């Protein structure tokens, strides 16, 4: 099951990535950009993807597992 943090992080990376690719290829927004700017874009994109990958692979620590009996503690409403 996907965790909400991973989904949000994935969308945070994918949406701008697609926008940049469309801007460069369809709208020619980077027609006069220097070559080094593409290297910077690639490095920044790789760093963002690595961050999402790390978040997806991280093990979430469950605070309930640290209880004495190993069972989640339930509270009564009110």
**pTM for the whole thing?**
0.60
Q: Is 70 exceeded by the pLDDT of residue 65?
A: no
56/35: higher pLDDT: 35
Q: Is 90 exceeded by the pLDDT of residue 39?
A: yes
Q: Nearest-CA neighbor of 3 among 46, 71, 65, 55? A: 55
Q: Which DSSP symbol is given to 48?
A: H
Q: How far apart are CA 59 and CA 66, in angstroms?
A: 15
Domains of the chain by residue range? 4-57
What local confidence, expressed as pLDDT, does residue 17 receive?
A: 86
């Amino acid at each position: 099951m996907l965790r909400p943090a991973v989904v949000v992080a994935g969308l945070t990376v994918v949406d701008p990535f697609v926008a940049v690719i469309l801007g460069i290829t369809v709208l020619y927004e980077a027609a006069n950009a220097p070559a080094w700017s593409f290297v910077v874009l690639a490095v920044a994109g790789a760093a963002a993807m690595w961050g999402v990958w790390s978040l997806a692979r991280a093990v979430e620590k469950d605070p309930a597992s640290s209880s004495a009996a190993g069972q989640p503690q339930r509270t009564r409403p009110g």
